[in-house]
Structure 1
């Protein structure tokens, strides 16, 4: 059943840093927006215990999330639709239509899609063989008290490993970081930490033995070895998430801005795997909103990057 929708100036899909920046920027130039987010604004920032790469003096993800949510609440031209998910996006010659999971349909001249990425699991990567149903907790959700004095096997060398270590500089733990070739450049920031042992692998088979974890590793030199750890956590990186409909995807599932319909503007981590930072997400969200504004005014802007 289709619910009652609305027509507004801009629809923003995704309430992370990019989406919230788009809504704030749109309000700054007088555009009304509807922001669609299945959770709380910037909820993924709560998994980042330490920040050292954003402006504004915020040193933790939760602090930044609270500040962004407060600014969004003080933006009368933005109407958040929290607890709702976009299930369809259609682009027409003169407007876009976004359908929500309750059947509501919103229309606007333009839409900003900033749904970002979600965490990869062992079943999503070819270099890991894991038992059925194996779904370890991401490292950023690990309880540091439970890690004290223990050895943790970390699957993947994505950057949350460095964030975890910076957030708990006095934590006495040992991290065995097994990673594939694609993560080599990401491990530079942790390779000198004495708590880290880097394990470049071609393949890893995960098993559980009693209450412990065992992993059979095949190194890049072809040598085989067995490791044991007290627990296993994930840091495999992310995969793009996007609503179905009028989006063009590349081979990796990302949505390059320049490839999209003129009325669909992509912002944040959904654009590419190369620029996944809070600051670049916010900047791209603001830029996308300005593109919608310039287009509505009949002004041209440079092609999206």
Structure 2
């Protein structure tokens, strides 16, 4: 295949030449750098590229051009190459128009002239845009294939694991795909052994566990060493932030995560109120960036489940799902929370077969032209509703409260109101689900009574349930399972008896010295990605204070 194209557009020949030279110096090895001296010439070039089947990764256009401005060109480019990144080069006087264009023309970034030195003013921005583009770019596929029926919990779990770990794959439903049937015959796969994962080298796995999949796709499932300065349990935003700051400040850091970086936030389709990302970003993109950043600083990631935590002398030992242990000087618990389970008739047998907890982005394409229901009224439910509205014929949000105002950000409320195929039904709740092999309908209760609705999918977002039952009793929790820390450990002004230190606990320190907590699993936390990142970052400062005492 030919290289993806970066197309530079400027009517000033000298400026265009300078742009092209800077682009070739940095990106020439992986991209084909092309130029156009006007907006119309750029459109003609795109037409030729499309005829040859070439792909444009990035448009970099000047704003002030006769005949067609940069904003107008990038608007038209969006229809020709909708997945390409679009950046605008502007003079300082045009910055206000450029900012408006981010919303109106869906431009991803603007840069002001001059961009010298490019190492500081140009490349960091384009690196970020091209990395984001390459993550979503799908060349002719030669990777993993997953064969499994849509209405299967195990098939959903396999696809969700691969998706959240950002492993590309093609999913083939044997009920709809002749290719799936042919592959099953070729590999002699009985339908009772589905789902099956087929690898490019001709090997396969039947009904694989997460650990088996992790081994095959190259994730680390065994720690490189037996001892670390810092062990972080959970790779949500708090854990990832602690990994970045811990590793960058010289702590030998291990991150233990059973599924994929990002936690609950990693399944968010779009986060638009995260500082520094005016166009928004997905939870998966945020997790990917943080994972790469922590890895660059030397943090080690381990795909395992922590099953216990014990203390001996000045060390903490994390027991893993495979029975092994890793020792550390300090530990941080950042396991986050799961969505609470609905306790209604029919729900258990249909989980994974039309009923899903969380956004389940792997199911979005399967919902095309269908009517689906979402339960919940917080930001996660609103983000999911906006995402599924791109595919489903109709999205109905069932909200127990009287409105969305108390639990959802204003920007999401406005977006939902402006989306014609999203309905919000307040004072409503699901009381029963029905179906034989898959979800077929739900029973909804509201002040007018109960009605039965046909439904192909039900996505549930009903609050936080901390997963802390595996922790020892020495780590105090509130009645709901959230971990107490710092000042919250005091009962009637006094520290608990299990606290043996001659000092007060640090702000994010649990009732076990040297064990810290951050993020949604902490009692009293603000359930936002940015606050979890903040807690994970400052927890490292308290760890240093703890370690300095030895």
Q: TM-score range by the shorter chain?
A: 0.7 to 0.9
1:94–1:109 contact (8 Å) kept in structure 2: yes
Cα separation, partners in 2 of 1:209 and 1:198, compared to 1, 3 Å: farther
Cα separation, partners in 2 of 1:131 and 1:22, compared to 1, 3 Å: closer
Cα separation, partners in 2 of 1:152 and 1:273, compared to 1, 3 Å: farther
Residue segments in structure 1 that go unaligned for 5+ positions in a row: 300-305
Query: Which residue in 1 is equivalent to 2:465?
Result: 239
Corresponding residue pairs, total: 289
Partner Cα distance (2:541, 2:318) in 1:
20
2:334–2:517 contact (8 Å) kept in structure 1: yes
User: How far has the Cα of 1:282 moved from its partner?
Assistant: 1.0
Residue segments in structure 2 that go unaligned for 5+ positions in a row: 1-222, 490-509
Deviations 1:10-58 (A, max 9, x none): 2111122211211221223322222212233326554222121223436
Answer yes or no: is 1:230 the counterpart of 2:458: no
Decide which structure has the larger Cα Rg and report it.
2
Query: Which residue in 2 is equivalent to 1:59?
Result: 281
Alignment partner of 1:269: what SS? coil
Answer yes or no: is 1:75 the counterpart of 2:297: yes
RMSD of aligned Cα (Å): 3.2
What aligned pairs does 1:96-245 form with structure 2 within 5 A after superposition?
96-123=316-343, 128-135=344-351, 136-138=355-357, 140-141=359-360, 143-167=363-387, 173-181=393-401, 185-186=406-407, 189-190=412-413, 192-193=417-418, 194=420, 195-201=422-428, 204-208=431-435, 213-219=440-446, 221=447, 223-234=448-459, 235-242=461-468, 243-245=470-472
Partner Cα distance (2:438, 2:315) in 1:
56
Partner Cα distance (1:182, 1:37) in 2:
38
Partner Cα distance (2:524, 2:345) in 1:
24
Structure 1 runs of 4+ aligned residues shifted over 6 Å read 209-212
Partner Cα distance (2:281, 2:263) in 1:
16
Query: Which residue in 1 is equivalent to 2:252?
Result: 32
Return the structure number with greater strand share.
1
Partner Cα distance (1:79, 1:172) in 2:
39
2:444–2:453 contact (8 Å) kept in structure 1: no
User: How far has the Cα of 1:228 moved from its partner?
Assistant: 0.9
Alignment partner of 2:356: what SS? coil
Return the structure number with greater helix share.
2
Partner Cα distance (1:40, 1:209) in 2:
31
